[in-house]
Amino acid sequence: MKYRQEWKHEISYGDMLALRQRLAAIAKRDSHTDGNSYEVRSLYFDNQADKALREKIEGANIREKFRIRFYNWDTSFIRLEKKSKANGLCHKESALLEKMQAQAIVDGDYGWMPQSGAPLIAELYSKIAAQGLRPKTIVDYTREPFVFSPGNVRVTLDYHIRTGLRSTDFLNPSCVTVPAMGSPIILEVKWDECLPDIIRDAVQLKGCRMGAFSKYAACRAYG
């Protein structure tokens, strides 16, 4: 299992404008963008005791979270993702979901999951059964991604973060979402073994320190 390094910073609008200009000069735009950005919709899972949320807030050294995700309102490509964190390093696994499978999960129909043929879907089923994981809330945002091949670096600017509150109507484009508390803008930097100096220098911001921001936690601020 390969883990990656990750930095997260909450930044200002002015910071975002400066970073956008710097990164455009040295890195490439991700090929999946629609123009310079794309829209992300995720549905996060948690249990009745808010295990994933509490572990994030308390800074548990080893933790994981599950989510379902699609991009640019295109429900023909949906992924189940599991993001794990250990000793400050991150790892992500994913599996494709058909639209009807994603809707079945939203509807609480889990019986098909152990026979899906996908280990990650079967793992989510085991934790639905053992831990009581359930769809919890929708998180929407706009992402501007940049890639830099040396070090397999990916830098993203995430903004217009919105929460579905307690709604889990994941596939409904008319589902009402509201701005996350504080309307944060997030810089994320991910890389393998070494972060090249040119990227390290580009993302340096005066008075900005690495944080542990979570879009899921921000979108749960209302309950």
All structural domains of the chain = 5-219 (3.20.100.30)
Per-residue pLDDT of the chain (223 residues; tens, 9 = 90+): 678 999 999 999 999 999 999 999 999 998 777 789 999 999 999 999 999 999 998 888 899 999 999 999 999 999 999 999 998 889 999 999 999 999 999 999 999 999 999 999 999 999 999 999 999 999 999 999 999 999 999 999 999 999 998 889 999 988 999 999 888 999 999 999 899 999 999 999 877 666 667 899 999 987 6
| Beta pairing class for 185-191 and 134-148 | unpaired
As a whole number of angstroms, the distance between CA 53 and CA 182 comes to 18
pLDDT (0 to 100) of residue 1:
67
pLDDT of residue 156: 97
Supply the pLDDT for residue 208: 66
How many Å apart are CA 154 and CA 152, to the nearest integer?
7
Q: Is 3 helix (H, G, I), strand (E, B) or coil?
A: coil
pLDDT at res. 213: 76
d(CA 212, CA 60): 11
Q: CA separation (Å) from 38 to 22, 41, 68, 159?
A: 20, 10, 16, 11
The pLDDT, as a whole number, for residue 47 is 96
pTM (2 decimals)?
0.93
Cα–Cα distance, 183 to 160 (Å, whole number): 7
How does DSSP assign 151-180, residue by residue? TTEEEEEEEEEEE-TT---TT-TT---EEP
Quickly tell me which residue has 């053992």 as its tokens.
130
* pLDDT at position 223: 66
CB-based contact 135:43 (threshold 8 Å): yes
Which percentage of the chain shows pLDDT scores above 90?
A: 78
**How high does pLDDT run on average in the chain?**
93
pLDDT at res. 2: 79
Rounded to 5 degrees, φ, ψ at 123 are -65, -45
